[in-house]
Structure 1
Amino acid sequence: MNYQPDPVSGAIVAESLALFRQHAPLVHCMTNDVVQTFTANVLLALGASPAMVIDAEEAAQFSAIADALLINVGTLTRDRASAMRAAIDAAVQAQKPWTLDPVAVGGLRFRSEFCQALLLQRPRAIRANASEILALAQQVGQGRGVDSLHDSAAALSAAQQLARSSGAVVAVTGVVDYVTDGERTLAVPGGSALMTRVVGTGCALSAVVAAFAALPGDSLQHIASACRVISCAGERATATASGPGSFIPAFLDALWQLDAEALQ
């Protein structure tokens, strides 16, 4: 990477969060079985409305009603893939934004081919770790399940390429998150190592990205704001938590209490 992208400003994040709470988006989360409850609680703590509808017929109906759709392939099955395709088709027809979280793409053939095919459906956003972004961009990259073997900065060029080819705003997350639309890039510092020691923070972030992507205005700034909201809550939770067990309730409380002053 030849340059350091500008960090997203606290003022922009505060504006996006205020808009988010004003709109209270309804988010259709087709996410993995491991994280559904935590994802719902994160969205509720921020002021959004989560729903998990997975039957193919119902998913198609609901994605046309919801403000945003999340597709997370963490526990992908062939039946669930069919339901996801139906939901995406309906969302696209209804002009509702959808977000892709390509969990463990690159290491497993079925999900890798599935996610590559989904890129043709023009997601509004893609949120993934560095190894997943490298694999999705069809560059060298393979993680260890949900764990990245690469630093986020190593995938920035691939993220920019992927953004240009897919039309999505791409968030590659790590110690520093990078959010790009292929032309502009914002850096999102912060977070906490404790966020990697509990299940679901990355998947919940993808749901928050999906929700923020539904807001009117600059999608790049809104999605970078989603990343900063989560990293800021992680920092604040870590300040009071004694370990992973106490981190989760502290994290949900921090999301609930976030305000402009904290985000500055």
Structure 2
Amino acid sequence: MEINNKIIKLLNNLRQKTPLVHQITNYVTINDCANITLAIGGSPVMAEDIHEVREMVSLASSLVLNIGILNTGVIESMIAAGKRANELNIPVILDPVGVGATTYRTESCKKIMSQVKLAVIRGNLSEIKTIYGIDTITRGVDASESFEANSDEFTKAKEMAKDFAIKFGTVVAITGVVDIITDGKTLYTTSNGHKMMSRVTGTGCMCTAIIGCYLGAGDNNLIAALAGTVSMGIAGETAYARLDKEIEGSGTFRVKMIDAMYNLCETEIIKRSKIDEE
């Protein structure tokens, strides 16, 4: 499949370039985001203080903004780093964790989006619908909404995703049981992953970090978002397949997922990727 070849080429570029990925992220998942970045071949830096973010992002190949744990200082740092990244044409990805759960979280997300040009926004269905302007229910960082492939809800979600990408001038990646990735014109759906990923905190954050790595290795934001989403899904599938179900659980699964990302290769992508284009 041609799209697999594009993903494989981008993965090879990533590992040759070792892009520096500046991440202003949350304390719950920061270590896993750093390790998954290293596993795929990137180089993480987690600077967040307002006094150094402009200088740090100037050295980076991409910038990840994750609003999982908020405070006023972090938002100011995200906007400062984002504006500097925009000046230098460094791609920025936003993870609107839990947007819609509180007014402050929603307003902070809107503030970032109004001041920073975003290459990609990655979120679950509830988060993306909230940003789009559709009333929904968000339970903290949990994905409280999902859909089945070929359902009316799935069709509506794809239409909304295209409109979202056009409205905000960005690539959107909606991750869940079935993922939707679009720039408003081309739309990809993927169905990689395993339900056990929901039993480990931060798999969404890690997916965003991986997309950040791919963004730093190429110049096609749509393919980077697709590659990151598929790579994370394959890592989850592989980790579950290698789990000793009798004695191992979510803790071992988390470690095996990072191992799988480290060992991700052309063979695994061709063998496991489940991508549809429309």
Do the structures match in fold with TM over 0.5?
yes
Task: Identify which range, 157-166 or 251-260, moves more after superposition.
Answer: 157-166
Q: TM-score, normalised by structure 1?
A: 0.93
- Cα distance per residue 1:112-142 (max 9 Å; x no partner): 1121122232200000000000001111222
Task: Identify which range, 43-52 or 239-248, moves more after superposition.
Answer: 239-248
Q: Distance in 2 between matches of 1:215 and 1:140?
A: 36
1:143 maps to 138
Q: Give the match's secondary structure for 1:12.
A: helix
Q: How many residues align?
A: 258
- Cα distance per residue 1:185-205 (max 9 Å; x no partner): 011211011111011111011
User: Does residue 249 of the first structure (1) align with residue 255 of the second (2)?
Assistant: yes
2:230 maps to 228
Amino acid corresponding to residue 145 of structure 1 in structure 2: G
Q: TM-score, normalised by structure 2?
A: 0.88
Q: Distance in 1 between matches of 2:10 and 2:217?
A: 8
Q: Distance in 2 between matches of 1:48 and 1:262?
A: 19
After TM superposition, the structure 1 = structure 2 runs for residues 1-264 of structure 1, keeping only pairs within 5 Å, are 9-120=3-114, 121-151=116-146, 153=154, 155-241=157-243, 242-264=248-270
Does structure 1 retain, via aligned residues, the 8 Å contact 2:26–2:68? yes
Q: Distance in 1 between matches of 2:84 and 2:209?
A: 18
Does structure 1 retain, via aligned residues, the 8 Å contact 2:75–2:112? no
Task: Identify which range, 8-17 or 117-126, moves more after superposition.
Answer: 8-17
Amino acid corresponding to residue 49 of structure 1 in structure 2: S
Q: Distance in 1 between matches of 2:69 and 2:160?
A: 25
Amino acid corresponding to residue 217 of structure 2 in structure 1: L
Task: Identify which range, 119-128 or 145-154, moves more after superposition.
Answer: 145-154
**Structure 1, unpaired ranges of 5+:** 1-6
Does structure 2 retain, via aligned residues, the 8 Å contact 1:28–1:50? yes
TM superposition shift of 1:8: 8.4
TM superposition shift of 1:23: 1.8
Task: Identify which range, 211-220 or 233-242, moves more after superposition.
Answer: 211-220
Task: Identify which range, 108-117 or 171-180, moves more after superposition.
Answer: 108-117
- Cα distance per residue 1:162-190 (max 9 Å; x no partner): 21122111000001111000111011211
Q: Distance in 2 between matches of 1:258 and 1:118?
A: 33
Taking structure 1 as reference, are residues 69 and 111 closer, same or farther at Cα in structure 2, changes over 3 Å only? same
TM superposition shift of 1:65: 1.4
Q: Distance in 1 between matches of 2:111 and 2:133?
A: 13
Q: Give the match's secondary structure for 1:139.
A: coil
Over the residues paired in the alignment, what is the CA RMSD in angstroms?
Answer: 1.6
Percent of aligned positions with the same letter in both sequences?
33
**Structure 2, unpaired ranges of 5+:** 148-153, 271-278
Does structure 2 retain, via aligned residues, the 8 Å contact 1:129–1:172? yes
Q: Distance in 1 between matches of 2:162 and 2:117?
A: 15
